[in-house]
Amino acid sequence: MNVFGGAPYGYRYISRHEGDGQARYEIIEEEASVVQQVFGWVGRDGISIGEVRRRLHDQGVKTKTGKDWWDRTTIWAMLKNPAYKGFAAFGKTRVGIRASKERLSKLQTEEKTLSAEQSEQAQLRVVIDRLEEFRKQIAEGLDGLDWHARREVIRLLVKRVEIDRNEVRVIYKVSPPPFVSSPASGACLQDCWR
């Protein structure tokens, strides 16, 4: 349904022909004050729609079609009509300003999240590349050593080797990072399964 198809109470519809190519609502001040009064009664005073109906009748306010008594559904429709919120638009498929702002906010949050994830992945890739380069350097260095020198390097790095039926467990000696409490022996253990 087109919200410009019939002007709600408090407005007069200006067609494209009358409005120089742009359809719009024009406020009828006398009716607009009634609309404000209805919203005040319900929103501020918390009265029922039945009481709004009675008050409008007692004040002699006629409906848009000239009836003395207001239907409850007419008052309810007035309270729910987007024209009174400033969101009237051609067709129901148009998105209001609030929905657009919410969508924009959601997209900005998603962009920040994706950007943070991409940054973390790039940093992780740098660390992995450095570790891979370090591993290659160690492997090349060990290849150039004789058997006795290799054995000494392994003794410096490895605390012990545990052999099980299904796995070999190598426990390395690793110096603790600075400012971190360490075991009394002064060395941490790191496990590696193969």
pLDDT in the model for residue 96: 58
**Spatial distance between the Cα atoms of 74 and 124, rounded to a whole number of angstroms:** 62
Spans of the chain below 50 pLDDT: 1-4, 89-95, 182-194
User: Has residue 6 been placed in a domain?
Assistant: no
Whether residue 34 is found in the same domain as residue 57: yes
pLDDT in the model for residue 3: 45
Model confidence pTM above 0.85: no
> How many domains, the chain?
3
Could you read off the pLDDT of 59-104 as tens digits, one per residue?
A: 999 988 888 899 988 888 888 887 776 655 444 444 457 777 888 8
Domain of residue 109: give its range: 95-144
Whether residue 52 is found in the same domain as residue 107: no
Q: What are the residues facing 83 on neighbouring strands?
A: none
Cα angle, residue 77 at apex, residues 74 and 81 outer, rounded to 5°: 140
Q: Residue 136: how many CB atoms within 10 A of its CB?
A: 10
